[in-house]
Chains A and B, each alone.
Chain A
């Protein structure tokens, strides 16, 4: 019964997110304000459904559902959605929703394409640190994903301004300044969460395996990612790095995040390689 509800929920998450993306795309072309408001409501609906889905999986599995590939990616999509929705209450960046809704849809499609089986949790990992470490890390990824989308938008807009070919995107994308602020805000938030994620992870590792750090590939790559972002934030604070460089770094950093999430699991293995 519960598992039926569960798969029904995931189906509706996919459907609702798809509708939101389509509406946002249509809005991107015709720029009708009514459509944007509708799309946003539907994305909010998708966010709520995603939350329900994750909760339902929690009850079935009996632990925080972040131990399989499917669960990790779904959690990722959830964090992007809610990072965006929470962000939106503070600033408004023109047409940001179109990019975010597409990213969320892509993540959900990836989640849909892998096995949705439940994995029992090794006794060593059954700890309160699991939800704490995992959810902080995934929220960090959510904000870093926003910075990634902002970076792409920045590069497009900057290209149009530099090449003086003011075309389709020029009027539809926000100002460079707004995108740079978005980059700054999301990276700072994401970086703080990422740091917390690594710290909680190492505390948990001490508890579970007896050592704070053991150079497991996932740990190594998290650290590389962390240094990439740390370098960028340092440069912004000291030398005033901004604009194109900051945008490129946000994209590079996010690629490292993606590699940490998938590349490591499939290519390098290690204790974090869940759900293979």
Chain B
């Protein structure tokens, strides 16, 4: 539709520090901000996305309305002055906006590229907008396209398949050893922050029981309470090793606290059930030779980092493939939009042609008195045929690929040649 443009404004984790993102006026869910957006003049359709890493507004607006300033004021509220927010805000138009949206949906713009959460957040945000009737034909189509692009990226590349943080790497390894983490028991040796984080991930992925062994029982009790587990003293370590499956060690001990020869006899009592040791302490807590035991797997912090690096390299390769898919789809969507822009022009042209032929027929037919109804029909048909033949080539030109980049100019030019009514 002529006189319309797509605009995407926002801030994200890349160029906006957390302190600024926190101040944005959109912490209260979607309902209120969407209503507030509705009051801005010149917006036809609008949609809003707010996650902890980004806030973005996507609108389709009238060409002449200066919604950019209004929108940024809406985004930043009174808290931040325009001079200040200018360096944070990005603002994309038309093709760039489409491309950016697709990048976000495909998780190529995420802090952890390839993470799967963003698509759900996008869908949730869209649901709010759609429910409040803020979206129309263009945004509906655009958002659904974004979802399908994300799906295509996910199925055609392996971008989401590898773990790129230490915790994820540990989970991935545990899955390859145990199949599923369901009902697996975790032992934390040392009650530091790292251990807590690792335990959180393991429990979040299905691990059942958390046992905390620490030098000071008090701290162990605190941490155990968080996971509904129980605490033991360090002297009970060997007993526990017979029961658990995954051990995360992170004590501040200066030397090795668990030797190969300590664990070896335990394996018999465990009936050789696998043990997965994760040593995130520096200096290391666990004897590297543990890894030589059958059914025992030991990864220290360097090993985990290597896995992460490997996955990152793999992921970057996949990201290139994914970007290509996004480029391709953004181009396709642009073509669709361009098609949308010329449809009314073609209709107007045809209408004008019909009008001209009708006018001429009305003038000529009364003068031709001896025509039979059949002959009269033929003359009418001929007039219509001349018009449609004549208009055929210009319409083909309008639809053609040539000067696609300046399709708006082309439409304007076309309208002035045929003196079609000015667009509203």
Contact = CB atoms under 8 A, between A and B. Distances in A.
Given A240-B272, A242-B272, A177 B294 contact: no
A162 B275 CA distance: 12
Contact of B272 (A161, A162, A243): A243
B271 A175 contact: no
A127 interface: no
A178 interface: yes
A164 B299 contact: yes
A161 B170 CA distance: 12
B271 A240 contact: yes
Contacts of A177: 177-179, 274
A175 B291 CA distance: 18
B276 to A, nearest CB: 9
Interface in B267-324: 268, 270-274, 291, 294-295, 297, 299, 303, 306-307, 310
A199 B273 CA distance: 35
Contact of B295 (A157, A175, A243): A243
A162 B161 CA distance: 21
A166 interface: yes
B175 interface: yes
Contacts of B272: 239-243
Given A166-B310, A171-B161, A239 B179 contact: no
A112 B259 CA distance: 56
A32 B41 CA distance: 48
Given A162-B297, A242-B273, 8 more contacts: A31-B158, A161-B177, A164-B306, A175-B175, A176-B274, A178-B179, A242-B271, A242-B295
A25 B291 CA distance: 32
Contacts of B376: none
A31 B310 CA distance: 19
B273 A175 contact: no
A164 B304 CA distance: 9
Interface string B150-191: 000000001001100000000001011111000000000000
Contacts of B173: 161
Interface of A: 31, 157, 161-162, 164, 166, 170-171, 174-178, 239-245
A252 B149 CA distance: 49
Contact of A239 (B271, B274, B291, B295): B271
Nearest to B300: A164
B349 to A, nearest CB: 45
Contacts of A176: 176-179, 274
Given A240-B271, A245-B294, A175 B299 contact: no
A243 B176 contact: no
Contacts of A31: 158
Given A240-B271, A241-B272, A243-B272, A157 B176 contact: yes
25 contacts: A31-B158, A157-B176, A161-B173, A161-B176, A162-B297, A164-B303, A164-B306, A174-B179, A175-B175, A175-B177, A175-B178, A176-B176, A177-B274, A178-B179, A239-B271, A240-B268, A240-B271, A240-B272, A241-B272, A242-B271, A242-B272, A242-B273, A242-B295, A244-B294, A244-B295
Interface string B8-35: 0000000000000000000000000000
Contacts of B268: 239-240
Given A242-B272, A243-B272, A175 B297 contact: no
A171 B177 CA distance: 12
A176 B275 CA distance: 12
Contacts of B306: 164
B161 to A, nearest CB: 6
Given A240-B271, A243-B272, A244-B295, A170 B176 contact: yes
Nearest to A244: B294
Contact of A243 (B161, B274, B299, B303): B274
Contacts of B307: 164, 166
